[in-house]
């Protein structure tokens, strides 16, 4: 045991830091990032030693018009290639595909023709059969896949267990614990790591964690998962993401003290690109209304609307949430 109060020991092996800034951050600004932002982020992630960078979503262009969204809503092959060039870096490239929002048969190239490495398939428990089909297809097309089961804080353990049993039988490489509503505590995460691990490890799957900051617990929940052996750790720079945002990548890399990672390129990116983004009026991060939706275990959109409306009558808002849960 160390003599100091702070234990400097960290798990050295099997950790992957996943930068989801463009994808989860893109939800904040409809993927309208400034010119050069994605290029600078990619360069920062390469220099920082980040393992995976998630560029955005694959969605059906039939369902979503190009007009209302920036390019990372669609992640066209050419758009990604324009950023990563020859892609000699070690960082893997991921995109997310939601069940019901994309037909992979139309939007996915065979891996040999694509610069994308990883498809992250996102689904609610109730959609897990469709997710399994998408994972099968992506696996056959040559991709590394993850399954991100969303909004589990609304499910019973039996429902999550059933979903896990289905996903575990697919070729998915990683199964993610996703705290969509930011309602979970480190103790909840530890119990979920046991539940997910019990099923996933039997089938040779890895685990991942994607946390939200409604209760100011995104970083703590990520550390709880890391401490329980979870390998894929999602984070975003400055925690940029929907509503209260995510685990800040700079905190995670700083904490890990792993020589594979360097915080300096991230700090330079924050100064050069994240601060101007904030100053341009793009808003995210912890605030009281997100605490309330997190505590009440409801989707954060109510809090996003509340803040957009310029309201601060928190007590009334709490009453509205309670009412909405009765319906």
* Cβ burial, residue 327 (10 Å; 0-12/13-18/19+): exposed
End-to-end CA distance of the chain: 53
Smallest gap from residue 136 Cβ to its own copies (A): 27
The smaller minimum CB distance to its own copies, of residues 69 and 286, is found at 286
CA distances from 222 to 2, 212, 260 (A): 24, 9, 19
The smaller minimum CB distance to its own copies, of residues 60 and 185, is found at 185
Smallest gap from residue 207 Cβ to its own copies (A): 15
Smallest gap from residue 290 Cβ to its own copies (A): 11
The smaller minimum CB distance to its own copies, of residues 47 and 115, is found at 47
Alpha helices in 201-227 (DSSP H): 218-227
Smallest gap from residue 307 Cβ to its own copies (A): 12
Where along the sequence are the contacts to its own copies (CB under 8 A)? 1-7, 152-158, 160, 183-188, 191-192, 213, 215-220, 223-224, 227, 238, 248, 250-251, 254-255, 263-264, 267-268, 270-271, 275, 288, 291-292, 295, 297, 312-315, 318
Smallest gap from residue 252 Cβ to its own copies (A): 10
* 58: Cβ contacts below 8 Å, ≥ 6 apart: 74, 75, 95, 96, 97, 102, 104, 107, 108, 119
The smaller minimum CB distance to its own copies, of residues 162 and 267, is found at 267
CA distances from 291 to 143, 199, 239, 245 (A): 37, 32, 16, 12
Question: Residue 312 pairs with which residues in a beta bridge?
Answer: none
Give the closest residue to 120 by CA, choosing from 91, 141, 93. 93
Give the closest residue to 122 by CA, choosing from 91, 158, 96, 104. 96
The smaller minimum CB distance to its own copies, of residues 9 and 105, is found at 9
Smallest gap from residue 160 Cβ to its own copies (A): 6
Q: Which helix (H) or strand (E) holds 193?
A: helix 186-200
The smaller minimum CB distance to its own copies, of residues 305 and 313, is found at 313
């Amino acid at each position: 045991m160390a003599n100091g109060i702070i234990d400097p020991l960290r798990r050295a092996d099997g950790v992957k830091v996943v930068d989801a800034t463009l994808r989860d951050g893109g939800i904040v600004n409809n993927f309208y990032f400034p010119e050069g932002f994605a290029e600078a982020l990619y360069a920062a992630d390469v220099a920082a030693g980040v393992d995976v960078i998630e560029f955005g979503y694959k969605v059906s262009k039939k369902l979503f018009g190009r007009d209302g969204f920036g390019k990372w809503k669609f992640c066209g092959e050419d758009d990604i290639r324009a950023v990563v060039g020859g892609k000699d870096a070690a960082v893997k490239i991921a995109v997310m595909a939601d069940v019901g929002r994309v037909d992979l048969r139309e939007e996915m190239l065979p891996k040999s023709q694509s610069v994308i490495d990883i498809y992250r398939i996102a689904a609610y428990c109730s959609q897990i059969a469709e997710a399994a089909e998408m994972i099968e297809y992506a696996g056959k097309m040559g991709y590394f896949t993850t399954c991100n089961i969303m909004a589990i804080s609304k499910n019973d353990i039996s429902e999550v267990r059933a979903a896990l049993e289905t996903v575990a039988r697919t070729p998915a490489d990683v199964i993610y614990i996703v705290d969509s509503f930011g309602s979970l505590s480190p103790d909840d995460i530890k119990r979920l790591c046991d539940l997910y691990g019990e099923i996933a490890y039997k089938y040779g799957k890895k685990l991942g964690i994607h946390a939200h900051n409604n209760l100011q617990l995104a970083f703590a929940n990520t550390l709880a998962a890391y401490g329980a052996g979870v390998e894929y750790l999602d984070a975003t720079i400055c925690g940029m993401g929907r509503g209260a945002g995510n685990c800040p990548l700079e905190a995670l890399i700083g904490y890990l003290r792993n020589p594979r990672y360097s915080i300096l390129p991230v700090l330079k990116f924050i100064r050069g690109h994240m601060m101007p983004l904030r100053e341009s009026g793009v808003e995210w991060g912890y605030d009281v209304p997100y605490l309330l939706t997190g505590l009440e275990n409801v989707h954060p959109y109510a809090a996003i609307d509340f803040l957009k409306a310029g309201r601060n009558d928190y007590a009334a808002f709490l009453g509205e949430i309670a009412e909405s849960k009765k319906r």
